Structure 1
Amino acid sequence: MLPGGGLVSARVAWRHSLRFRLALTYSLLALVLILLTSLGVVTLLLSRMDQQFTDRLNERADTLAEAFTGVQRGLGRTAGSASAYTMLIDAEGVVYATSPILREFNDAPFPFGTQGQVTVQDTSVRAVQRPVGDFGTLWVGLPEVDLIAARQSALSALLLALIVAPLLLLLTGWWVGRRALSGLEHAANLADRIDPTRSLATLPLPAQEDEVHRLLTAINRLLVRIEDGQAREKQLLGQIVHELGAPLTVLKASLQRAEERTNDPEVQRASLVADELTFTTQDLMQLARGELEMKLAWHYIPARTLRGRVDRLVPGTTFEGDWTGGILCDPDRLTQALRNLTANARRAAGTDGTVTVTLTETPEWLTFTVRDSGPGLPPELGERIFQPFVSGAGSSGLGLSVSRQIALMHGGTLTGQNHPQGGALFTLALPGAALGDDSDDPDDPNDMDEADLLNEPPLPARA
């Protein structure tokens, strides 16, 4: 909730959302599993293909060797088909018979020795040798073109799967996570709209009793306990303020009579302390009642009456601006707000510092500015300075919170900042009140013009 009373609906950035982290984790784990599984499958597949290629090569070599050493050896024939890789090598290592594709090696020394894999005419060939009796040695080769193509196809498919699968898994995980966490997101939006100054309504539960249902149930139980605790705190605070109110009233009256009789400075100081305690109890009472239970008693009073009240409550305050007009307000509540601001300013400025209250008026707004010569507002507090029990000047921390609440109840605002020339500057703005002459009877006693209202005697302060 904003300090001004507005509600904020917070949206989580996609990179910080729970469903994105779940989808990303799910995708990474799935990618690792797919990678390991695919590598295993591809490795096994390539191993089987390689084994089949080797078996085929050995089978061809054994068949050709048997053909040369058998009864029907087929002497004079070419060893293998036109595309076969075969050579006959004599005892001196000279090739004396080849398949047509290897005719260039005829009558030349055998070039490959005992190598099991060679390159022939820019083609990778895997080869084996077999003895063929008196004929010497049979060399048989088998091109690896098909095996290499199958190996490259398998690796390309694996690479494509590693690129496409994570994207599909991430999108699927995002969609599934969004569906699964929709109830939690709806509950978070409802919880974000809960006004802590009002009754803490519980969150609706999803139909499915899953982990989200269990979490929301726990949150509802927590909300009920918070509301019960707040009610007990308000009740206790109200009782404490009530018990303090009566003795303080008697004390104030006694000190006022003593001040009138003796004019003793010590008695005057004690009277001011009693006023301080009285306003503190009023702040506590307003905090205990809350904004909804606080009713304003509207009056149109002279601005000078308000100035006189503040001057009496916080002596040494300098007033500037135009105080000759009138103000439509609850006099006691507005006095309380300005008194809290000036008392805080006096506390910050010290006895030798200055506190200035300036009133400016436009047709739309009445603006009170309270400036002091103190060290200014702590920058680390920011808007927290208006929260209850947050203080940067050693006070109770209630004054600014209550003053902003009073300003809001009047339809106005209260802001605070550091003045460019030093010290703190608080601005309390209230809507202006334009009075019109709605009656045609000048003798109507109930028809009071602005001059009559400004000449009214000051209203007594509310205890």
Structure 2
Amino acid sequence: MTPGAGLYSARVAWRHSLRFRLALTYSALALALIALMTLGVVLLLLGSMERQFVDRLNERADTLAGAFTNTGGGLGSTAGGAGAYTLVVNPAGQVTYASPALRDYQDTGYVFGDLARVPVQNTTVRAVKRKAGDYGTLWVGLPEDDLLAARQSALSALLLALIVAPAVLLLTGWWVGRQALTGLEAAANLADRIDPTHSLSPLPLPAREDEVHRLLAAINRLLVRIEAGQAREKQLLGQIVHELGAPLTVLKASLKRAEDRTGDAEVARAALVADELTFTTQDLMQLARGQLELKLAWHYIPARTLQGRLDRLVPGTQFLGNWAGGILCDPDRLTQALRNLLANGRRAAGPEGTVTITLAETPEQVTFTVQDSGPGLPPELGEQIFEPFVSGAGSSGLGLSVSRQIARMHGGDLSGANSPQGGAVFTLTIPGAALGDEDD
């Protein structure tokens, strides 16, 4: 798995979750629709109640006015009762009759004027007027308490719905979104486990041919194209390395003979450049083959033998620690890995700088520590420094990648950091000889 894969396997933060955005959108739309529908129903209900109240008031006023006009003298039986709100106002503006609830206004001047609503005994009364023939004007009122209470109840219910509905809708939308996006989340988890450096196996497809099925099928087609492209790249890289190998071998042999014959310093430097090119082609070949195609040739060698190889390949290296023991390894591969580290250190430190390699051995582990006096590793690269073709020192960018690959093939690892004293420090570890299996 790639280093960043663990970050993507964690659950997405709620504020970035598609599930949350869908639930929020669904809740907002549903709330808007419910609010509009509820508001419309409430307005219709209140309007109906208002019309019923007005019709009732007008019907009562018309009935009483008809009693005065047609029969006269029927006031006591028609407008009486404790719940009646009725006044008869003569043409002079005096109240000649008042129902029991308005008895205080009888035989006084009419005080309500043209008000449609008047307070009477802590009750709001809505009133209308009618002509009462020779008696003057009939004033009829009807209490609004029931209408106001119903209106308040309807508005309270609307407000409660607007408060409770968002929470209910959001939870419902979250649950529905979770159920609906389960397949998409599973597809994301499957795609997240793809590691192009190890395997490009196709992803399993769900039984239902929905959008998730189409997504995974598209990813599988993409994996096939990636695998074909990688195969072509490896084939091309292998051909290039093969074509470079033979001329470099001849060039190295010729420079070696010329150096032995003349002792010229320029020829010696040219021989070192040829060695550099040879190791670069080896790195390219290892990259082209891939880790899974390589096999280690295990040998138990003296550490001094490894030291002699490295000293010839990277002159000027300081060897510290205990080099008197033995190492169980693939000598060629381990030499290649350590040579890459030392060459990078020499390149970073310059001709006047120092490069040291320290060997520390225990029965369980062998540790090589390579330190240079250069400027150190670029902090912005981090672990990317071990990826192919990523370089912070102007090199090909293959050395560190290949060195880590070789260390892990041995069962160890390679890490890098900056030293507090300055410069870069690389630590390569492999298992100690005590852990080796004699049969293997």
Band of TM-score, shorter chain = over 0.9
Q: Tell me the C-alpha RMSD between the 2 structures.
A: 2.2
> Partners of 2:425 and 2:415 in 1: how far apart?
8
Offset of residue 118 of structure 1 = 2.3
Deviations 1:283-306, CA, capped at 9 Å, x for gaps: 111111111001111111111221
Aligned residue in 2 for 1:93:
93
> Partners of 1:8 and 1:130 in 2: how far apart?
81
Aligned-partner SS, 2:201: coil
Q: Residue 8 and residue 161 in structure 1: after superposition, are their counterparts in 2 closer, same or farther (change >3 A)? A: closer
Between 1:162-171 and 1:423-432, the stretch displaced more is 162-171
Aligned residue in 2 for 1:218:
218
Q: Residue 7 and residue 84 in structure 1: after superposition, are their counterparts in 2 closer, same or farther (change >3 A)? A: closer
Aligned residue in 1 for 2:52:
52
> Partners of 1:426 and 1:90 in 2: how far apart?
114
Aligned residue in 1 for 2:329:
329
- Count residues in correspondence: 438
Aligned residue in 1 for 2:138:
138
TM-score by length of 1: 0.89
Offset of residue 64 of structure 1 = 1.3
Aligned-partner SS, 1:434: helix
> Partners of 2:176 and 2:220 in 1: how far apart?
26
Aligned residue in 1 for 2:430:
430
> Partners of 2:41 and 2:24 in 1: how far apart?
25
Q: Would you identify which runs of 4 or more consecutive aligned residues in structure 1 move more than 6 Å?
A: 4-8, 435-438
Aligned residue in 1 for 2:419:
419
Aligned-partner SS, 2:242: helix
Deviations 1:112-164, CA, capped at 9 Å, x for gaps: 21111222222222221112122222221111111122112222222232233
> Partners of 1:323 and 1:101 in 2: how far apart?
118
Aligned residue in 2 for 1:300:
300
Aligned residue in 2 for 1:104:
104
Aligned-partner SS, 1:292: helix
Offset of residue 436 of structure 1 = 10
> Partners of 1:311 and 1:38 in 2: how far apart?
87
Aligned residue in 1 for 2:268:
268
TM-score by length of 2: 0.94
Q: What is the identity, as a one-letter code, of the residue corresponding to 2:39?
A: L
Unaligned runs of 5+ in 2: none
Offset of residue 278 of structure 1 = 0.8
Q: Residue 175 and residue 294 in structure 1: after superposition, are their counterparts in 2 closer, same or farther (change >3 A)? A: same
Deviations 1:324-380, CA, capped at 9 Å, x for gaps: 111111111111111111111111122222212111223322111111122211111
> Partners of 2:177 and 2:88 in 1: how far apart?
69
Aligned residue in 1 for 2:79:
79
Q: In percent, how many aligned pairs have the same letter?
A: 78
Contact 2:363 2:435 survives alignment (8 Å): no
Aligned residue in 1 for 2:355:
355
> Partners of 1:5 and 1:139 in 2: how far apart?
84
**Structure with greater proportional helix content:** 2
Deviations 1:70-129, CA, capped at 9 Å, x for gaps: 125404557243112221222333323211112222233323211112222222222211
> Partners of 1:352 and 1:437 in 2: how far apart?
44
Contact 1:2 1:8 survives alignment (8 Å): no
Unaligned runs of 5+ in 1: 439-463
Superposition pairs of residues 44-443 of structure 1, within 5 angstroms: 44-77=44-77, 79-434=79-434
> Partners of 1:72 and 1:263 in 2: how far apart?
148
> Partners of 1:349 and 1:5 in 2: how far apart?
34
> Partners of 1:310 and 1:6 in 2: how far apart?
38
Aligned residue in 1 for 2:23:
23
Between 1:107-116 and 1:8-17, the stretch displaced more is 8-17
> Partners of 2:416 and 2:333 in 1: how far apart?
19
